[in-house]
Structure 1
Amino acid sequence: MRIFKSDFFTLPLSALIALAIAVPVAGCKRIPDEDANRPETALAYPPASRPVSELAGNAWSTETARDKRGEAEEIMKAAGLAPGMTVADIGAGEGYYTVRLAERVGEDGRVLAQDIDEDAIKRLAERVARDELDNVSIKLGAPDDPRLPVDSFDRIFLVHMYHEVREPYAFLSRLRPSIRRDQDGGSYDGGEVIVVDVDRPFAEHGISPKQLFCEFEAVGYQLIGYMERPELGGYFARFRPVGKSPLPGKIVPCELLE
């Protein structure tokens, strides 16, 4: 066996080769993979280019406190909600909006309550059954896909939850087809997305209006209404899809906007 000698040690050639391979690898710093924690179904879309709030649970505030502010009543009025409409409550949680939407649209309307929390969905299903809300359906969604039926909804409500959406571009793109088109067959004039959120840092469970507007615009939505309503817990925005939905690779993600 050939031996290499030095002033300090003597090693076989095979050992030196192994050492030469091992040392650089051990000294390398692993480069983080930004897609490592993303769902495979979202990889075609740009990742969020801003922080995403941690899930805060489904009890944003007590229902009694929210009713004292007239929150749901004012939001439904501003959204133009009327009897007979079909609506979706995304991130429905414990059902604060679900039960009130069901009452407003009446027996001729429909409400689909969706959440990604299986335990919350089970509790909400129990509440719906207990209150005998025959015009309400329950559905489990995914972080990057609301999983809503196509061409179905007059209004889709995202109340105090959008800042927790981890894949905004995939989520909003997959939301678009579910919005009811106008009867002319292509203008979307009949359906809107209603967002209620708070203008504060992501770590405090909020999102700036500028960031919200940019992300919706990036996937082909138009802002058609906005108002500040601090007495109702934040701001109110209405969006309508316009034109064709951009392909995933054509979506330009937004910078972090304050």
Structure 2
Amino acid sequence: MWRAALPLLLLGACDSPPVAQSVMQSSPGTGEIRPVKAPIGPAFPAPDRPVASIASATWSDEDARDNDGEAEDVIRRLGIRPGMHIADIGAGSGYYTIRLSPVVGLTGRIVANDIIPDYLARLRKRSADKGLTNVDFTLGDAGDANLASQSVDLALMAHMYHEISEPFALLWRLQDDLKPGGRLAILDSDRPTARHGTPPALLRCELAAAGYQQIAFNRLENGRYLTVFQPTFRPDPGTIRPCKAN
């Protein structure tokens, strides 16, 4: 999961361009984590809403989620199949990473992404213990997932969008990381961001401001929803206007 505020990693927190950050990125096909340098980029507006804090790497008990059929339902609705390359953004303890890996198979790839190095280290060990060989690990920051250009068919943000402190920067840069026709799927709860959810109307507004169009929306049980977006244009960062939460 993504922590709400990491002062040294915030992009666009002031009017001047951010200083380039030293980050870590996986070496494709090896599961190793290697250092790269994030590029200096334009400033983006902060969201006009509360950003949720994070208490742990796990959103909820994994057995309970499996008993509810959460991952199975999400995988079916998203049409995930062998050979796909998927980024699990805000992977945390790896609930989706572990379950997506066997679905995409040896011809596919999962990129487990987070901004907390310790989460990735623990997930890397968990993946190794389970014998998963198609998982790479990438350390992002608040405004950039730091994925390879045009590398993923699907980016998944599960129960973490409300924790992103620089959503417009992250979404804008994510357009580079999606393959042509690639999708962004967001799983969240329909409640205020301060209560660890995102109202669907607010989510659509923020994604539209970053150049995305909603192409699917599914109401799930217990106030949750799964929505899918695709980029349609790339706005000038200076024209992006934050959306107000009602």
Question: What interval of TM-score do these two structures reach, taking the shorter chain for normalisation?
Answer: 0.7 to 0.9
Q: State the 1:43 CA deviation.
A: 6.5
Q: State the 1:40 CA deviation.
A: 2.7
2:229 matches 1:239? yes
* 1:177-212 per-position Cα deviation (integer Å, ceiling 9, x unaligned): 11111xxxxxxx2x1001000011222111100110
Q: For 1:81, what is the secondary structure of its paired residue?
A: coil
> 1:39, 1:134 → 2: CA distance?
38
Give 1:169's aligned residue. Answer: 168
> 1:56, 1:162 → 2: CA distance?
15
Give 1:131's aligned residue. Answer: 130
TM-align CA RMSD:
1.9
Give 1:46's aligned residue. Answer: 45
Would the alpha carbon gap of residues 123 and 164 (structure 1) be closer, same or farther in structure 2, given more than 3 Å must change?
same
Q: State the 1:132 CA deviation.
A: 1.4
2:195 to 204, 207, 214: 204
Q: Given residue 109 of structure 1, which amino acid in structure 2 is its aligned partner?
A: G
Q: Given residue 207 of structure 1, which amino acid in structure 2 is its aligned partner?
A: T
> 2:55, 2:231 → 1: CA distance?
29
Q: For 1:154, what is the secondary structure of its paired residue?
A: strand
Would the alpha carbon gap of residues 103 and 162 (structure 1) be closer, same or farther in structure 2, given more than 3 Å must change?
same
Q: State the 1:62 CA deviation.
A: 1.1
1:215 to 188, 192, 206: 206
* 1:61-82 per-position Cα deviation (integer Å, ceiling 9, x unaligned): 1111110011001001111111
Contact 1:59–1:94 (CA<8 Å) still a contact in 2? yes
Q: State the 1:39 CA deviation.
A: 8.8
Which consecutive segments of 4 or more residues in structure 1 shift more than 2 A? 38-43
Would the alpha carbon gap of residues 101 and 85 (structure 1) be closer, same or farther in structure 2, given more than 3 Å must change?
same
Would the alpha carbon gap of residues 63 and 53 (structure 1) be closer, same or farther in structure 2, given more than 3 Å must change?
same
Give 1:3's aligned residue. Answer: none
Give 2:241's aligned residue. Answer: 252
Alignment coverage as a number of residue pairs: 214
Give 2:75's aligned residue. Answer: 76
Contact 2:17–2:43 (CA<8 Å) still a contact in 1? no
1:224 to 215, 219, 226: 215
Q: Given residue 150 of structure 2, which amino acid in structure 1 is its aligned partner?
A: D
Q: Given residue 48 of structure 1, which amino acid in structure 2 is its aligned partner?
A: P
TM-score, normalization: structure 2?
Answer: 0.82
Higher radius of gyration, 1 or 2: 1
The 5-angstrom pairing of residues 70-219 of structure 1 reads: 70-181=69-180, 189=181, 191-219=182-210
* 1:115-140 per-position Cα deviation (integer Å, ceiling 9, x unaligned): 11111111001111111110000111
Give the strand-richer structure, 1 or 2. 2
Q: Given residue 237 of structure 1, which amino acid in structure 2 is its aligned partner?
A: T
TM-score, normalization: structure 1?
Answer: 0.79
Q: For 1:114, what is the secondary structure of its paired residue?
A: strand
Would the alpha carbon gap of residues 208 and 77 (structure 1) be closer, same or farther in structure 2, given more than 3 Å must change?
same
Q: Given residue 215 of structure 1, which amino acid in structure 2 is its aligned partner?
A: E
Percent identity of paired positions between Structure 1 and Structure 2 = 43
> 1:134, 1:158 → 2: CA distance?
22
Q: For 2:87, what is the secondary structure of its paired residue?
A: strand
